[in-house]
Amino acid sequence: MRKKGLLMVMILLVLGVLATTSFSANVTYDHRALVIDGKRRVLISGSIHYPRSTPEMWPDLIQKSKDGGLDVIETYVFWNIHEPTRGQFDFEGRKDLVRFVKAVAEAGLFVHLRIGPYVCAEWNYGGFPLWLHFIPGIVLRSDNEPFKAEMKRFTAKIVDLMKQEKLYASQGGPIILSQIENEYGNIESGYGAAAKPYIKWSAAMAISLDTGVPWVMCQQANAPDPIINTCNGFYCDQFTPNSNNKPKMWTENWTGWFLSFGGAVPYRPAQDLAFAVARFFQRGGTLQNYYMYHGGTNFGRTTGGPFISTSYDYDAPLDEYGLVNQPKWGHLKDLHKVIKQVEGALVATDPAISSLGSNLEVAVYRTGSECVAFLANVGTNSAATVTFNGNSYNLPAWSVSILPDCKNVVYNTAKINSMAMIPSFTRQSLIADVDESLSLGSAWSWIKEPVGITKDDAFTKPGLLEQINTTADQSDYLWYSLSVDVKGDEPYLDESKTDLHVESLGHALHAFINGKLAGSGKGNSGNSKVSLEIPVTFGSGKNTIDLLSLTVGLQNYGAFFDTRGAGITGPVKLRSAKSGTSVDLSSLQWTYQVGLKGEELNLPSKDSSLWSQSTLPKKQPLTWYKTSFDAPSGSSPVAIDFTGMGKGEAWVNGQSIGRYWPSYFAPNSGCKENCDYRGPYSSSKCYKNCGKPSQQLYHVPRSWLKPSGNILVLFEEIGGDPMQISFATREVESLCSHISESHPPPVDLWNSDSESKSHTRTPVLLLECPSPNQVISSVKFASFGTPHGSCGRFNHGKCSSTKALSIVEKACVGSKSCKIGVSINTFGDPCVGVTKSLAVEASCT
């Protein structure tokens, strides 16, 4: 018995070890797909950039990605946050790459690690640390020995870090792919003869690191074997790899577009995004990645561009705050379910593609007893009726229908079954419990940032210096200061009018004459240069010209993007408006100061005796503000509404939430209330928020807040009123859905077995409150018949069932979720012979 007992203990110990040990996976590829442990896979992927959220957000973001049907999380690796100073590495907090990859693994998902190390990503300097720029003889992204040495050193550092933690699939980890370089093919011609040797070297260097998983290069048609070349873009169905031995992969399907300060908010309709994905799988694709699945926030000074906004929402399926963006998230989730149901057929063979007429196409995957069909109408104007396998199908314009059994339409990209949600932001005062009898300014303290030169490390040089080479991007700010001695007989000075003319490479500047703000100028995302001409008045004797030049994120894209400068490069002139006589001040002795005095004092993080609580200055340039506040109640995501402020940067408990610029408005024109999803999408096709601040709300992660005693610090450049600032919590105002009798039933009701095929084909309208503790409290609108309009703006049509509202209320009110069959069996027939639909808007509490 003792021997048997000992044997049992040993068996249990072995089983325990096996249960907690990861087994390595063999990841290869063939012409159809990635092959994981001998099995071809269809993979749905989504980009989440770890530093654009917080470690506390990561598990929820990853779980929502998994719930949405993703298999893989894709992320860049951001060199400049990990090695801000050469040889000094930082993997703490939001930069904890290992923790992020392990969080993905814990959710049971794979990882695509895009090391680059150039990343673009609308990220400052394309992800490169600026110290690279100062290495003698270096030419970035070229067949250049100093650059290649640094690129190899960092790439090997990341690979070794992943290996040490056993995170590659070959070691039992989640990483199944890695990327070297990034979209180099788009700008390769700019580098001339040095480009091709660089790409060959990059590929060989990556392979030599022996990760045990395949490497990819995106937008690189000449990627050397065995590197897989992949596609980036709004559509990649027509893409073909450079070898018949490589699978068709899409590393960036742009779910929307980035926002720039001064621009309207771009968005991409869910129907078009789903159309692009379905077309890709229709035509032989097997790995598709959403860029972005969660965009997040550009905290601190991480934005690129220049002029990229602090929000990086990207109209992604998960919004900036980590909440599902409906109906996009749900519509794609349904598509993923269908694709995964037919995965075996998709990877078993190549599609047989044929025409069904003008702009009409069918692709059939047939293997053994399985048959899967994709019917596409790529026309942009009208629906079409097609015949396939003896059956008739109606295809809306710019849509794909998927038939998992080559008979029944289970999904159409133009017909959304998922509900929509109208987000809202509930405002509350930033300062609570302030005695109204006291000055409202008593809750704030302030410090004036001095104009001009005040720091000990200031220096004097003849001529005008380019800004980035001078600041090394240690600050957004560079002072250019000059003293002018006026005798009174200068021909370029005019008692009636003298103009100061300043030419700058950008990105913005403020001109001070004798300590007073005289004028400001700014560039934009299309042209960062600034040309400023302002009237000035000088007194006799000594006068000062102080020019504050500032950057708004460094260039991140284009051939030799790293050489594009900023700052005041001249000329700087004084000119008499009366006589036309001018003097060029550009070559005089200018005094320079990198950064602000408040930055040197570390006002965002450290206390100082300089803070004043006297009368609060408002609408004054160069002012630091500080206040304390309690966190908003509840668990909803938090933003700060910077209405009333101009431009600057904000810190909460010492952490920068990014640059704010609510005074930079989007153009008044160019937006559409309803952007037609039909036809090719471009980044300028669909805009909203015209005539309003490009960004008014700025995300503050909940994990950065304490219940009370939080500290908010602002640096305001051009003048504002901090008393107008408020909190806003992200809520859901309404749930909406609009389902017609011609919609397919919910994807969940489909299964390939014969019993499921006989189920009723009735479409279903589904509503569900987003929070676990909520129930549907009211029905704002319900109409069965011919309702029209969009979520929040539904209207009854000519035909409407009188019973619709009461039926919907009975089914939904008081429940967390409800399902209603869209059928005359439910509502009666208010208009015989007409295709009817059900539109509903409801609220949750």
Taking each helix axis as running N to C, give the angle between helix 58-67 and helix 97-106, from 0 to 180 degrees, rounded to the nearest 10.
Answer: 40
Task: Looking at 283-417, list the stretches that DSSP marks H as alpha helix, in order from N- to C-terminal side.
Answer: 328-341, 343-348
Please say if 755 is a catalytic residue: no
**Alpha-carbon gap, residue 345 to 340, rounded angstroms:** 10
- DSSP letters along 443-498, please? GEEEEEPPSS--STT-EEEESPPPHHHHHTTS-SEEEEEEEEEE-S--TT--SS-E
Q: How far from 737 is each of 416, 794, 839, CA to CA, in Å? A: 9, 10, 6
**Alpha-carbon gap, residue 748 to 676, rounded angstroms:** 28
Please say if 183 is a catalytic residue: yes
**511: how many CB neighbours lie within 10 A of its CB?**
23
| Residues 819/768, Cβ–Cβ less than 8 Å | no
Q: Would residue 463 be called left, alpha or beta, if left means φ above 0 and alpha means ψ between -120 and 50 degrees? A: left
Strand segments, DSSP code E, in 65-174 are 72-76, 110-116
Which residues in 123-149 are b (16+ Cβ under 10 Å) and which e? Answer: bbbbbbbbbbbeeeebbbbbbbeebbe
**566: how many CB neighbours lie within 10 A of its CB?**
30
Q: How far from 815 is each of 329, 678, 766, 791, CA to CA, in Å? A: 22, 36, 12, 21
Q: Which residues contact 789 (CB under 8 A, 6 or more apart)?
A: 795, 839
Tell me the β-bridge partners of 584: 573
Which of 252, 320, 449, 841 is catalytic? The answer is 252
Joined together, the tokens standing for residue 516 give 């007073």
Joined together, the tokens standing for residue 255 give 């779910």
Which of 183, 599, 649, 841 is catalytic? The answer is 183
**Can you give 245-286 as a three-state secondary structure string?**
CCCCEEEEEECCCCCECCCCEECCCHHHHHHHHHHHHHCCCC
Question: Which residues belong to the active site?
Answer: 183, 252
